[in-house]
A and B are shown apart, each in its own frame.
Chain A
Amino acid sequence: MSSQPDPKSKPGSSFSDEELLHVHEESVAHTTDDGGSYKLLPLVLLFAFSGLIFFGGTYLNLFSGHFDPRIFDERALPHSGQIEMVKLDPVVYGKKLYESLCINCHQPTGLGVPGTFPPLAGSEWVNGPEDRIIRILEHGLQGPLTVKGNNFGAVPMPAVGAGGAGWSDDKIAAVLTYVRQAFGNNSPPVTEEKVTEIRNQVGTHAPWLPADLSKIP
């Protein structure tokens, strides 16, 4: 601060409103160097402001997750590639599907009801070619058939595909995969791609006759 009395100060008295306005307008207009302190201040403030912006910007870059709406943890960064989705285990899924529908007829034990609903445990149909059982699920089955030496067929099997329960291909594949390794069965799983292939190949179809199915290898 300069040692000379500030000509603009009025100790002991005060400014009127008009004076307030004018005196401050003048102080802005006449900002020439006054003992050297003026020149340094704008530079100091500029550096201070720049420093704050720099630090803030760095912090923002580090902890904002690059403004990605999926980043809730500030330390994480967005994934650039594909996210690995957890694959649903078809056996677990198939079991749930079985218990939601198939269980009503084929029973929790997979043994069915003698004379009415065929068993799935140890069945040659279940453990046989997958082309046949995919067709059974897609379009249904009717007509007399033999399973493990016993006769069935009085009650037709409804379709669970598009024409019936409306299950998608992955559901059919899952439930077949489950049944083929449950109840003591041990057969390879059925893939969703295979179900799709057969569905596209066959299109819509009336419920299959066991005789027609037996012709499919």
Chain B
Amino acid sequence: MISATSNVAASETDTTARGPLVLLLVSALGWLLVSGVLALIATIQLHTPAFMAACPWLTYGHTQAVQETAAVYGWAANAAFAVSLWILGRLGGAPLRGLGLLTVGTVFWNLGVAIGIVCIMLGETTAVPFLQMPGYIHPLLLVAYGAIAVPGVLAWTGRRQRATFASQWYAVAAIFLFPWLYSAAQVMLLAAPLRGVGQAVVAAWFAQNLMSLWLVPTSLAAAYYLVPKLSGRVIANYDFAPHGFWALLFFGAWTGTRHLIGGPLPAWIPTVGIVTTLVLLFHYVIVALNLRAGLGGGRGNVVLGFVSFGLAAYLLGGLLDAVFSFRVFAEVVQFTFFPVAQYRLAFTGGYSFLVFGAIYYLAPRITGIVWPSPGLIRAHFGLAVLGTVITVVSLATAGWVQGKALGDPATTFTAIAAATRPWLLGATAGEAILLFGNIVLTVHFVRLQAATVCPAWGSISTLEASAS
């Protein structure tokens, strides 16, 4: 039974928030393309170092840093804001408030990221992974974030129902954890850097928690929302969902230091990271248990297909993290392309796919009309899956080959470069396919927005009010 009041409330949330959310999504997609181009350049430079070598802006150190920044602070951040705010607004049962602040915050956030990226290319970088933008940009971003988070916090504290849903826990966790993480990292790495290798510990903690405590909760909020909505089934074994949530928060926060194994640190620090990555498997078991209805593939619904692939990639990523953090494997794959492949699996395969699913779900609802071309959605899905699989498999194989060769003291680095070259060419191909798929998405989204003005661009049917 669908009540009339929830209908009106839902569409009010969607229509009033359309402007700022579309702004966030357009920014997100723009950064997605920028980071895609940069990722392409970076992978080309790995197998052909002479590519763009004469340009001081685009030396590999810069392209790697800028690609990472644009992907996380550009694409991932804007998409996370849009998805989490929309979900909190929907589940809060009232239109989002504080939209003016949201718009201002979005503008300054993206301005800050753009300036930061140009500065990195000019050579003014902090040289801290995932905090590469110069030190004066980060406080600006933090303040802009404060403005962006206001609607989300208000939607949570002002929620109409006392009962809460898993998506809300994850979205609220993401909204609060990011600024705490970000400010702690800014203080301990930039403003008053720790002495010696303490910097490496905090940098590893921060880099991991950007993923585990911010991006992952956002994508899981989307997954927990979309799976029951799209499959029409209640989440299975939902009474264990809180266990999965707390396991992610309490254990996931410690897993970052596993990358520092063998490093100039007291042995307990990487060991704690390895152990907590193992115990974190419990969280993945719970998520798989809960969302297994969404794992079965699209069943004709391509949005569910995105969610399905995203969940599968997320779960596989967790398993690989746990297995490959042990010393017997870490000895081979540390400092190779393999951790890069693991990161791509979690970021592109896990996070991006779940957020694509969320975007495909929410965009018609905030715009008021359906996507103009289901064919373009399927095209994007196919390209994204193909690109992700090729990139991850190529990088992982390149990493394994590189790791084995590094372990043999007689192999020179030019020989290693020759051995990994074919796999890196594969990674370039995968990045190109991903970029092409994301261009398809962006064009389609622009077309969707344009169709409100110029109906000829849209499809014939409009979104029925009864569909939620």
Contacts and interface: CB of A to CB of B under 8 A. Distances in A.
Interface of A: 6, 8-25, 27-28, 31, 41-42, 45, 48-49, 52-53, 55-57, 59-60, 63-74, 76
B34 interface: no
B285 A64 contact: no
B279 A52 contact: yes
Nearest to B261: A74
Nearest to B92: A17
A123 B394 CA distance: 79
Contacts, number: 131
B228 A65 contact: no
Given A14-B229, A53-B279, A8 B234 contact: yes
Interface stretch (B173-181, B237-245, B407-415): B237-245
A10 B239 CA distance: 20
B459 interface: no
A74 B232 contact: no
A9 B232 contact: yes
B461 interface: no
B120 interface: no
A18 B6 contact: yes
Contact of A65 (B93, B229, B240, B267): B267
Q: Which of A15, A24, A41 has the most CB of B within 10 A?
A: A24
A15 B468 contact: yes
Contact of B239 (A12, A27, A65): A27
Given A17-B90, A20-B228, A21-B161, 16 more contacts: A10-B232, A17-B9, A21-B91, A22-B161, A23-B228, A24-B234, A41-B289, A57-B275, A59-B275, A63-B267, A64-B271, A67-B266, A68-B266, A68-B268, A69-B266, A72-B265
A72 B279 CA distance: 24
Contacts of B164: 21
Interface residues of B, number: 48
Contacts of B375: none
Given A21-B163, A22-B163, A60-B275, A14 B232 contact: yes
A55 B278 contact: yes
A60 B10 contact: no
Nearest to A23: B234
Nearest to B90: A17
Contacts of B270: 74
A76 to B, nearest CB: 8
Nearest to B166: A24
B3 A16 contact: yes
B234 A65 contact: no
Contact of A72 (B235, B264, B274): B264
A29 B341 CA distance: 42
A13 B231 CA distance: 8
A15 B467 CA distance: 9
Interface string B32-64: 000000000000000000000000000000000
A141 B327 CA distance: 65
B462 interface: no
Given A45-B240, A48-B285, A20 B165 contact: yes
B285 A45 contact: yes
A41 to B, nearest CB: 6
Contact of B468 (A6, A14, A25, A74): A14
Given A17-B10, A20-B229, A24-B238, A56 B163 contact: no
A27 B239 CA distance: 8
Given A8-B234, A24-B238, A64 B267 contact: yes
Contacts of B161: 18, 21-22
Nearest to A69: B266
B254 to A, nearest CB: 11
B272 interface: yes
A73 B286 CA distance: 35
B275 A16 contact: no
B324 to A, nearest CB: 15
Contacts of B234: 6, 8-9, 23-24, 27
Given A14-B229, A18-B93, A21-B161, A27 B238 contact: yes
A209 B230 CA distance: 105
Given A49-B282, A72-B265, A15 B228 contact: yes
Nearest to B87: A17
Given A16-B10, A17-B93, A24-B165, A31 B239 contact: yes
B165 A21 contact: yes
17 contacts: A6-B233, A11-B233, A14-B468, A16-B10, A17-B10, A18-B161, A20-B229, A22-B161, A45-B243, A45-B285, A48-B282, A56-B279, A63-B267, A64-B272, A65-B268, A71-B266, A76-B267
